[in-house]
Protein backbone atom coordinates (compact mmCIF):
# COMPACT_ATOMS: atom_id res chain seq x y z
CA UNK A 1 0.00 0.00 0.00
CA UNK A 2 1.33 3.41 -0.87
CA UNK A 3 2.25 5.88 1.84
CA UNK A 4 -0.48 8.13 0.59
CA UNK A 5 -3.17 5.42 0.76
CA UNK A 6 -2.02 4.27 4.22
CA UNK A 7 -1.99 7.83 5.51
CA UNK A 8 -5.54 8.44 4.22
CA UNK A 9 -6.81 5.24 5.86
CA UNK A 10 -5.19 6.23 9.14
CA UNK A 11 -6.73 9.69 9.07
CA UNK A 12 -10.17 8.18 8.27
CA UNK A 13 -9.76 5.71 11.16
CA UNK A 14 -9.10 8.44 13.70
CA UNK A 15 -11.94 10.55 12.30
CA UNK A 16 -14.38 7.66 12.69
CA UNK A 17 -13.12 7.09 16.21
CA UNK A 18 -11.86 3.61 15.39
CA UNK A 19 -8.43 4.36 16.85
CA UNK A 20 -7.51 6.79 19.56
CA UNK A 21 -5.17 9.73 19.24
CA UNK A 22 -2.26 7.93 20.83
CA UNK A 23 -2.52 5.04 18.32
CA UNK A 24 -2.87 7.54 15.47
CA UNK A 25 0.25 9.37 16.59
CA UNK A 26 2.27 6.14 16.83
CA UNK A 27 1.15 4.92 13.38
CA UNK A 28 1.48 8.31 11.72
CA UNK A 29 5.03 8.74 12.99
CA UNK A 30 5.77 5.21 11.80
CA UNK A 31 4.59 6.21 8.35
CA UNK A 32 6.85 9.23 8.47
CA UNK A 33 4.00 11.75 8.51
CA UNK A 34 5.23 15.18 9.47
CA UNK A 35 4.38 16.58 12.89
CA UNK A 36 2.68 19.50 11.16
CA UNK A 37 0.29 17.18 9.29
CA UNK A 38 -0.37 15.11 12.42
CA UNK A 39 -1.23 18.30 14.33
CA UNK A 40 -3.64 19.43 11.61
CA UNK A 41 -5.46 16.07 11.56
CA UNK A 42 -5.82 15.95 15.36
CA UNK A 43 -7.02 19.57 15.49
CA UNK A 44 -9.70 18.87 12.87
CA UNK A 45 -10.90 15.92 14.95
CA UNK A 46 -11.02 17.87 18.24
CA UNK A 47 -12.88 20.90 16.81
CA UNK A 48 -15.49 18.51 15.46
CA UNK A 49 -14.75 19.48 11.86
CA UNK A 50 -15.62 16.31 9.98
CA UNK A 51 -15.12 14.59 13.32
CA UNK A 52 -16.39 11.07 13.79
CA UNK A 53 -19.96 10.83 14.99
CA UNK A 54 -20.21 9.65 18.57
CA UNK A 55 -22.15 6.41 18.93
CA UNK A 56 -25.85 7.24 19.50
CA UNK A 57 -26.40 8.18 23.17
CA UNK A 58 -28.56 5.90 25.31
CA UNK A 59 -32.00 7.46 25.94
CA UNK A 60 -31.87 9.59 29.12
CA UNK A 61 -33.16 7.77 32.18
CA UNK A 62 -33.34 10.92 34.40
CA UNK A 63 -36.54 13.00 34.10
CA UNK A 64 -36.00 16.41 32.51
CA UNK A 65 -34.80 19.01 35.03
CA UNK A 66 -37.67 21.21 36.32
CA UNK A 67 -37.74 24.74 34.90
CA UNK A 68 -35.83 27.25 37.04
CA UNK A 69 -37.91 28.82 39.83
CA UNK A 70 -38.95 32.44 39.34
CA UNK A 71 -37.17 35.32 40.99
CA UNK A 72 -39.60 37.13 43.28
CA UNK A 73 -37.67 40.38 43.69
CA UNK A 74 -37.22 42.25 46.97
CA UNK A 75 -39.39 41.83 50.09
CA UNK A 76 -42.48 44.01 49.77
CA UNK A 77 -43.34 46.62 52.42
CA UNK A 78 -46.50 44.87 53.60
CA UNK A 79 -48.06 41.46 54.19
CA UNK A 80 -51.69 40.53 54.91
CA UNK A 81 -52.44 37.39 56.90
CA UNK A 82 -55.83 35.85 57.67
CA UNK A 83 -55.77 33.03 60.25
CA UNK A 84 -57.60 31.35 63.10
CA UNK A 85 -57.84 33.35 66.35
CA UNK A 86 -55.25 32.72 69.10
CA UNK A 87 -53.03 30.80 66.71
CA UNK A 88 -49.69 32.66 66.84
CA UNK A 89 -47.34 33.81 69.61
CA UNK A 90 -47.63 37.41 70.86
CA UNK A 91 -44.33 38.57 69.42
CA UNK A 92 -44.09 36.55 66.16
CA UNK A 93 -45.48 39.31 63.96
CA UNK A 94 -43.65 42.18 65.71
CA UNK A 95 -40.29 40.38 65.46
CA UNK A 96 -40.84 39.61 61.78
CA UNK A 97 -41.81 43.22 61.03
CA UNK A 98 -38.62 44.48 62.68
CA UNK A 99 -36.28 42.01 60.98
CA UNK A 100 -37.77 42.29 57.49
CA UNK A 101 -38.97 45.90 57.59
CA UNK A 102 -42.41 44.74 56.50
CA UNK A 103 -45.75 45.85 57.98
CA UNK A 104 -48.06 42.91 58.74
CA UNK A 105 -51.84 42.98 59.17
CA UNK A 106 -53.31 39.95 60.95
CA UNK A 107 -57.07 39.34 60.79
CA UNK A 108 -58.72 36.31 62.36
CA UNK A 109 -61.53 33.87 61.55
CA UNK A 110 -63.27 31.06 63.41
CA UNK A 111 -63.87 28.44 60.72
CA UNK A 112 -62.51 27.23 57.37
CA UNK A 113 -65.85 27.99 55.74
CA UNK A 114 -65.70 31.63 56.89
CA UNK A 115 -62.17 31.98 55.48
CA UNK A 116 -62.93 30.29 52.13
CA UNK A 117 -66.06 32.42 51.60
CA UNK A 118 -63.93 35.55 51.95
CA UNK A 119 -61.04 34.37 49.76
CA UNK A 120 -63.47 33.16 47.10
CA UNK A 121 -64.61 36.73 46.42
CA UNK A 122 -61.15 37.27 44.86
CA UNK A 123 -60.93 40.66 46.56
CA UNK A 124 -59.94 39.70 50.10
CA UNK A 125 -56.50 41.30 49.78
CA UNK A 126 -54.98 38.48 51.86
CA UNK A 127 -51.60 37.01 51.02
CA UNK A 128 -51.58 34.08 53.47
CA UNK A 129 -54.40 32.01 54.98
CA UNK A 130 -54.44 28.90 57.17
CA UNK A 131 -56.82 26.12 56.01
CA UNK A 132 -57.20 22.71 57.66
CA UNK A 133 -56.28 19.66 55.57
CA UNK A 134 -59.72 19.07 54.05
CA UNK A 135 -60.00 22.80 53.27
CA UNK A 136 -56.71 22.65 51.32
CA UNK A 137 -58.44 20.17 49.00
CA UNK A 138 -61.45 22.48 48.72
CA UNK A 139 -59.17 25.45 47.90
CA UNK A 140 -57.19 23.39 45.39
CA UNK A 141 -60.37 22.39 43.55
CA UNK A 142 -61.48 26.04 43.47
CA UNK A 143 -58.00 27.14 42.27
CA UNK A 144 -57.63 29.53 45.22
CA UNK A 145 -53.96 28.86 45.99
CA UNK A 146 -50.59 29.79 44.55
CA UNK A 147 -47.64 27.37 44.33
CA UNK A 148 -44.70 27.81 46.72
CA UNK A 149 -41.30 28.82 45.33
CA UNK A 150 -39.14 26.41 47.28
CA UNK A 151 -35.81 28.19 46.83
CA UNK A 152 -37.09 30.80 49.29
CA UNK A 153 -37.99 28.13 51.88
CA UNK A 154 -34.76 26.41 52.98
CA UNK A 155 -36.30 25.82 56.43
CA UNK A 156 -38.99 23.58 54.90
CA UNK A 157 -36.59 20.72 55.65
CA UNK A 158 -37.51 21.09 59.36
CA UNK A 159 -41.00 19.62 58.78
CA UNK A 160 -41.36 16.22 60.49
CA UNK A 161 -41.88 13.18 58.20
CA UNK A 162 -45.38 12.65 59.73
CA UNK A 163 -46.54 15.97 58.26
CA UNK A 164 -44.42 16.00 55.09
CA UNK A 165 -46.17 15.32 51.76
CA UNK A 166 -49.61 14.86 53.26
CA UNK A 167 -52.59 13.38 51.41
CA UNK A 168 -53.97 16.86 50.84
CA UNK A 169 -50.67 18.15 49.38
CA UNK A 170 -48.63 15.12 48.25
CA UNK A 171 -45.97 17.22 46.50
CA UNK A 172 -45.65 19.93 49.21
CA UNK A 173 -46.58 22.27 46.37
CA UNK A 174 -48.90 24.61 48.28
CA UNK A 175 -48.76 24.08 52.03
CA UNK A 176 -46.47 24.91 54.91
CA UNK A 177 -47.85 22.85 57.84
CA UNK A 178 -48.60 25.20 60.76
CA UNK A 179 -50.14 23.41 63.79
CA UNK A 180 -51.86 20.09 64.36
CA UNK A 181 -54.38 19.16 67.01
CA UNK A 182 -57.52 17.29 68.04
CA UNK A 183 -61.15 18.15 68.78
CA UNK A 184 -62.46 16.87 72.12
CA UNK A 185 -64.11 18.12 75.31
CA UNK A 186 -62.77 20.83 77.61
CA UNK A 187 -64.32 20.80 81.08
CA UNK A 188 -64.04 22.26 84.57
CA UNK A 189 -62.83 19.58 86.99
CA UNK A 190 -64.28 21.48 89.95
CA UNK A 191 -67.78 21.68 88.40
CA UNK A 192 -68.02 18.25 86.72
CA UNK A 193 -66.37 15.94 89.22
CA UNK A 194 -66.71 12.67 87.26
CA UNK A 195 -64.44 13.15 84.22
CA UNK A 196 -66.53 12.89 81.03
CA UNK A 197 -65.57 10.21 78.51
CA UNK A 198 -68.27 10.47 75.84
CA UNK A 199 -69.95 12.89 73.46
CA UNK A 200 -73.12 11.87 75.39
CA UNK A 201 -72.12 14.56 77.92
CA UNK A 202 -73.94 17.09 75.73
CA UNK A 203 -77.17 15.04 76.04
CA UNK A 204 -77.15 15.38 79.85
CA UNK A 205 -80.07 17.65 80.78
CA UNK A 206 -78.50 18.23 84.21
CA UNK A 207 -75.91 20.43 82.43
CA UNK A 208 -78.50 22.56 80.64
CA UNK A 209 -77.18 26.06 79.97
CA UNK A 210 -73.68 25.15 81.16
CA UNK A 211 -72.34 23.49 78.01
CA UNK A 212 -71.45 24.62 74.49
CA UNK A 213 -70.55 22.98 71.20
CA UNK A 214 -68.46 24.40 68.39
CA UNK A 215 -69.77 26.75 65.77
CA UNK A 216 -68.07 24.61 63.15
CA UNK A 217 -69.94 22.31 60.80
CA UNK A 218 -67.17 19.73 60.43
CA UNK A 219 -66.42 19.46 64.13
CA UNK A 220 -70.02 19.55 65.28
CA UNK A 221 -71.69 17.05 62.93
CA UNK A 222 -68.41 15.07 62.90
CA UNK A 223 -68.67 14.51 66.67
CA UNK A 224 -72.22 13.11 66.39
CA UNK A 225 -71.15 10.80 63.58
CA UNK A 226 -68.32 9.44 65.76
CA UNK A 227 -70.79 9.07 68.63
CA UNK A 228 -72.69 6.49 66.54
CA UNK A 229 -69.51 4.73 65.39
CA UNK A 230 -69.51 6.34 61.92
CA UNK A 231 -66.76 8.08 59.99
CA UNK A 232 -66.64 11.83 60.59
CA UNK A 233 -66.37 12.12 56.81
CA UNK A 234 -69.58 10.19 56.13
CA UNK A 235 -71.97 11.53 53.51
CA UNK A 236 -74.40 8.64 53.91
CA UNK A 237 -77.98 9.93 54.25
CA UNK A 238 -78.89 7.59 57.14
CA UNK A 239 -75.69 8.48 59.06
CA UNK A 240 -76.39 12.18 58.60
CA UNK A 241 -80.02 11.80 59.71
CA UNK A 242 -78.84 10.08 62.91
CA UNK A 243 -76.25 12.84 63.47
CA UNK A 244 -78.95 15.46 63.10
CA UNK A 245 -81.18 13.67 65.65
CA UNK A 246 -78.30 13.61 68.17
CA UNK A 247 -77.45 17.24 67.49
CA UNK A 248 -81.10 18.25 68.05
CA UNK A 249 -81.18 16.24 71.30
CA UNK A 250 -78.18 18.20 72.55
CA UNK A 251 -79.39 21.59 71.35
CA UNK A 252 -81.73 22.47 74.30
CA UNK A 253 -78.80 21.94 76.70
CA UNK A 254 -76.41 24.23 74.83
CA UNK A 255 -75.72 27.75 76.01
CA UNK A 256 -74.37 28.52 72.52
CA UNK A 257 -72.61 27.31 69.41
CA UNK A 258 -69.20 28.88 69.95
CA UNK A 259 -65.63 27.92 69.08
CA UNK A 260 -62.35 29.48 70.35
CA UNK A 261 -64.00 32.38 72.30
CA UNK A 262 -65.52 29.89 74.78
CA UNK A 263 -62.15 29.77 76.56
CA UNK A 264 -62.99 32.90 78.55
CA UNK A 265 -66.28 31.37 79.72
CA UNK A 266 -64.54 28.18 80.84
CA UNK A 267 -62.02 30.31 82.73
CA UNK A 268 -64.77 32.32 84.47
CA UNK A 269 -66.94 29.25 85.16
CA UNK A 270 -69.94 30.45 83.10
CA UNK A 271 -69.42 27.31 81.01
CA UNK A 272 -68.57 23.95 82.62
CA UNK A 273 -67.93 21.88 79.51
CA UNK A 274 -67.34 22.74 75.87
CA UNK A 275 -66.56 20.92 72.68
CA UNK A 276 -63.16 22.42 71.91
CA UNK A 277 -59.75 21.94 70.33
CA UNK A 278 -56.91 20.70 72.57
CA UNK A 279 -54.67 23.75 72.13
CA UNK A 280 -57.31 26.36 72.87
CA UNK A 281 -58.16 24.30 75.97
CA UNK A 282 -54.52 24.51 77.07
CA UNK A 283 -54.62 28.29 76.62
CA UNK A 284 -57.62 28.39 79.00
CA UNK A 285 -55.88 26.01 81.43
CA UNK A 286 -52.91 28.39 81.60
CA UNK A 287 -55.33 30.90 83.13
CA UNK A 288 -57.34 28.45 85.22
CA UNK A 289 -55.81 25.06 86.13
CA UNK A 290 -59.31 23.64 86.86
CA UNK A 291 -59.75 23.24 83.11
CA UNK A 292 -58.94 19.84 81.59
CA UNK A 293 -59.32 18.08 78.22
CA UNK A 294 -60.46 14.60 77.16
CA UNK A 295 -60.88 12.77 73.87
CA UNK A 296 -64.25 10.90 73.90
CA UNK A 297 -64.04 7.11 73.80
CA UNK A 298 -66.14 6.99 70.60
CA UNK A 299 -63.41 8.81 68.70
CA UNK A 300 -62.55 12.32 67.62
CA UNK A 301 -61.01 14.45 64.87
CA UNK A 302 -57.32 15.04 64.30
CA UNK A 303 -56.26 17.75 61.86
CA UNK A 304 -53.28 19.68 60.62
CA UNK A 305 -53.68 23.28 59.47
CA UNK A 306 -51.27 24.79 56.93
CA UNK A 307 -50.28 28.22 55.71
CA UNK A 308 -50.96 28.69 51.99
CA UNK A 309 -50.62 31.60 49.56
CA UNK A 310 -53.81 33.05 48.13
CA UNK A 311 -54.12 33.00 44.33
CA UNK A 312 -52.92 36.28 42.82
CA UNK A 313 -51.40 37.54 46.08
CA UNK A 314 -49.61 40.91 45.92
CA UNK A 315 -46.81 40.31 48.41
CA UNK A 316 -45.32 37.03 47.31
CA UNK A 317 -41.73 37.53 48.42
CA UNK A 318 -42.82 38.81 51.85
CA UNK A 319 -45.14 35.79 52.14
CA UNK A 320 -42.22 33.44 51.49
CA UNK A 321 -39.99 35.28 53.99
CA UNK A 322 -42.73 34.97 56.62
CA UNK A 323 -43.17 31.25 55.95
CA UNK A 324 -39.44 30.60 56.10
CA UNK A 325 -39.25 32.71 59.27
CA UNK A 326 -41.94 30.74 61.14
CA UNK A 327 -40.19 27.51 60.07
CA UNK A 328 -37.14 28.52 62.16
CA UNK A 329 -37.00 26.14 65.14
CA UNK A 330 -37.02 28.84 67.83
CA UNK A 331 -39.83 30.84 66.17
CA UNK A 332 -41.95 27.70 65.59
CA UNK A 333 -41.34 26.52 69.17
CA UNK A 334 -42.58 29.83 70.59
CA UNK A 335 -45.73 29.69 68.45
CA UNK A 336 -46.66 26.19 69.61
CA UNK A 337 -45.73 26.90 73.24
CA UNK A 338 -48.25 29.75 73.04
CA UNK A 339 -51.05 28.00 71.10
CA UNK A 340 -50.87 24.73 73.04
CA UNK A 341 -50.96 22.79 69.77
CA UNK A 342 -48.42 20.41 68.30
CA UNK A 343 -45.85 21.72 65.86
CA UNK A 344 -45.46 19.82 62.57
CA UNK A 345 -41.89 21.16 62.61
CA UNK A 346 -39.56 18.52 64.13
CA UNK A 347 -36.86 21.04 65.06
CA UNK A 348 -39.42 23.40 66.62
CA UNK A 349 -40.90 20.50 68.62
CA UNK A 350 -37.43 19.68 69.95
CA UNK A 351 -37.02 23.32 71.03
CA UNK A 352 -40.43 23.62 72.79
CA UNK A 353 -40.71 24.15 76.55
CA UNK A 354 -43.55 21.59 76.70
CA UNK A 355 -43.51 19.65 73.42
CA UNK A 356 -46.73 18.01 72.26
CA UNK A 357 -45.74 14.45 71.25
CA UNK A 358 -46.85 13.19 67.82
CA UNK A 359 -49.83 10.80 67.99
CA UNK A 360 -48.87 7.15 68.39
CA UNK A 361 -50.36 4.37 66.25
CA UNK A 362 -52.43 3.35 69.28
CA UNK A 363 -53.86 6.88 69.68
CA UNK A 364 -54.51 7.11 65.94
CA UNK A 365 -56.96 4.18 66.22
CA UNK A 366 -59.33 6.58 68.00
CA UNK A 367 -58.64 9.58 65.75
CA UNK A 368 -59.68 10.37 62.20
CA UNK A 369 -58.49 13.03 59.76
CA UNK A 370 -61.15 15.28 58.26
CA UNK A 371 -61.32 14.99 54.47
CA UNK A 372 -63.02 16.98 51.76
CA UNK A 373 -66.68 15.90 51.51
CA UNK A 374 -66.71 16.67 47.77
CA UNK A 375 -70.22 16.12 46.39
CA UNK A 376 -71.49 15.51 49.93
CA UNK A 377 -70.72 19.10 51.00
CA UNK A 378 -74.15 20.39 49.98
CA UNK A 379 -75.93 17.82 52.17
CA UNK A 380 -73.74 18.78 55.14
CA UNK A 381 -74.34 22.51 54.54
CA UNK A 382 -78.08 21.88 54.48
CA UNK A 383 -77.93 19.77 57.65
CA UNK A 384 -75.91 22.39 59.50
CA UNK A 385 -78.37 25.10 58.53
CA UNK A 386 -81.24 22.93 59.80
CA UNK A 387 -79.44 22.16 63.08
CA UNK A 388 -78.63 25.78 63.81
CA UNK A 389 -82.00 27.19 62.85
CA UNK A 390 -84.15 24.25 64.00
C1 LIG B 1 -57.56 28.22 66.57
C2 LIG B 1 -57.52 26.77 66.49
C3 LIG B 1 -57.86 26.33 65.16
C4 LIG B 1 -57.85 24.91 64.98
N5 LIG B 1 -57.48 28.75 67.87
C6 LIG B 1 -58.76 24.45 63.91
N7 LIG B 1 -58.27 23.49 63.11
DSSP 8-state code for residue 130: -
Q: Residue 157: which domain range?
A: 78-180+305-356
Report the residue among 81, 82, 83, 84 best suited for mutation to probe ligand 1: largest number of ligand atoms under 8 A from its CB: 84
Residue 161 lies in a domain: yes
pLDDT tens-digit readout, 22-78: 554 455 445 555 444 444 444 554 544 333 344 555 666 777 887 889 999 999 999
CA of 72 to the centre of ligand 1 (A): 31
CA of 36 to the centre of ligand 1 (A): 82
Residues 6+ apart with CB under 8 A from 154: 324
CA of 370 to the centre of ligand 1 (A): 13
Q: Are residues 171 and 186 in the same domain?
A: no
Residue 116 lies in a domain: yes
Total domain count for the chain? 2
Task: Verify whether ligand 1 is closer than 6 Å to residue 86 (CB atom).
Answer: yes
The CATH number linked to 232 is 3.40.190.10
**Predicted pLDDT at 11:** 55
Please report the atom of ligand 1 found closest to the CA of residue 84.
Answer: 1
Residue 18 lies in a domain: no
Residue 137 lies in a domain: yes
CA distances from 331 to 61, 87, 191, 307, 340 (A): 42, 13, 37, 15, 14
Q: Supply φ then ψ for residue 320, to 5 degrees.
A: -65, -40
Q: Are residues 318 and 373 in the same domain?
A: no
CA of 14 to the centre of ligand 1 (A): 73
Residue 84 lies in a domain: yes
CA of 288 to the centre of ligand 1 (A): 20
Is residue 367 within 8 Å of 231, Cβ to Cβ? Answer: no
Report the residue among 115, 218, 220, 305 best suited for mutation to probe ligand 1: largest number of ligand atoms under 8 A from its CB: 305
3 pLDDT more than 50: no
pLDDT tens-digit readout, 93-108: 999 999 999 999 999 9
Element (H, E) at 177: strand 176-188
Instruction: Quote the mean pLDDT of the chain.
Output: 89
Q: Are residues 288 and 383 in the same domain?
A: yes
Residue 60 lies in a domain: no
Task: Verify whether ligand 1 is closer than 6 Å to residue 108 (CB atom).
Answer: no
Task: Verify whether ligand 1 is closer than 6 Å to residue 84 (CB atom).
Answer: yes
Is residue 305 within 8 Å of 130, Cβ to Cβ? Answer: yes
289 pLDDT more than 50: yes
**Predicted pLDDT at 63:** 74
Is residue 173 within 8 Å of 164, Cβ to Cβ? Answer: no
Q: Are residues 244 and 170 in the same domain?
A: no
How would you label 239-251 residue by residue, b for 16+ Cβ within 10 Å and e otherwise?
bbebbbebbeebe
Q: Are residues 243 and 198 in the same domain?
A: yes
The band of 390, judged by pLDDT with boundaries at 50, 70 and 90, is confident
Task: Verify whether ligand 1 is closer than 6 Å to residue 259 (CB atom).
Answer: no
Q: Are residues 344 and 243 in the same domain?
A: no
Task: Verify whether ligand 1 is closer than 6 Å to residue 113 (CB atom).
Answer: no
CA of 142 to the centre of ligand 1 (A): 22
Q: Are residues 204 and 170 in the same domain?
A: no
Q: Are residues 200 and 348 in the same domain?
A: no
Please report the atom of ligand 1 found closest to the CA of residue 283.
Answer: 5
Q: Are residues 205 and 264 in the same domain?
A: yes
CA of 110 to the centre of ligand 1 (A): 8
Is residue 310 within 8 Å of 249, Cβ to Cβ? Answer: no
CA of 87 to the centre of ligand 1 (A): 7
CA of 180 to the centre of ligand 1 (A): 9
Residue 23 lies in a domain: no
CA of 305 to the centre of ligand 1 (A): 8
**Predicted pLDDT at 62:** 74
Task: Verify whether ligand 1 is closer than 6 Å to residue 132 (CB atom).
Answer: yes
The residue nearest atom 3 of ligand 1, judged by CA position, is 84
Q: Which of 9-23, 27-41, 116-130, 211-225 has the lowest mean pLDDT?
A: 27-41
**Predicted pLDDT at 29:** 47
**Predicted pLDDT at 327:** 98
Residue 11 lies in a domain: no
**Predicted pLDDT at 24:** 45
CA distances from 352 to 91, 349, 386 (A): 16, 5, 43
Query: What is the mean pLDDT of the segment spanning 204-212?
Result: 98
Q: Are residues 186 and 174 in the same domain?
A: no
Q: Are residues 127 and 220 in the same domain?
A: no
Task: Verify whether ligand 1 is closer than 6 Å to residue 277 (CB atom).
Answer: yes
Task: Verify whether ligand 1 is closer than 6 Å to residue 85 (CB atom).
Answer: yes
pLDDT tens-digit readout, 120-153: 999 999 999 999 999 999 999 999 999 999 999 9
Q: What is the percentage of the chain residues whose pLDDT exceeds 70?
A: 85
Q: Are residues 241 and 377 in the same domain?
A: yes
CA of 1 to the centre of ligand 1 (A): 91
Task: Verify whether ligand 1 is closer than 6 Å to residue 260 (CB atom).
Answer: yes
CA of 69 to the centre of ligand 1 (A): 33
pLDDT tens-digit readout, 320-361: 999 999 999 999 999 999 999 999 999 999 999 999 988 889
Query: Taking the mean position of all CA atoms in its chain, how far away is CA 178?
Result: 7
Please report the atom of ligand 1 found closest to the CA of residue 305.
Answer: 7
Amino acid sequence: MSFEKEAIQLIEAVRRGEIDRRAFLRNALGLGMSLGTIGLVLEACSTGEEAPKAPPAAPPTEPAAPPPEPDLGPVEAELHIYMWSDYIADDTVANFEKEFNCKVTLDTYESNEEMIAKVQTGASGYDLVCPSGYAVTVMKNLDLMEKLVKKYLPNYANIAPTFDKTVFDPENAFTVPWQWGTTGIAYRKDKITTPPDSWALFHDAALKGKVTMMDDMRDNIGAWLKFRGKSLNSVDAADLAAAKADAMLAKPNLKAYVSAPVKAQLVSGDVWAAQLWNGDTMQGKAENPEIDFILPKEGAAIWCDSMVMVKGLKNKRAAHEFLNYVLRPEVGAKISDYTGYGSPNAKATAAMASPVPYPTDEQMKNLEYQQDLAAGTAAWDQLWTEIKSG
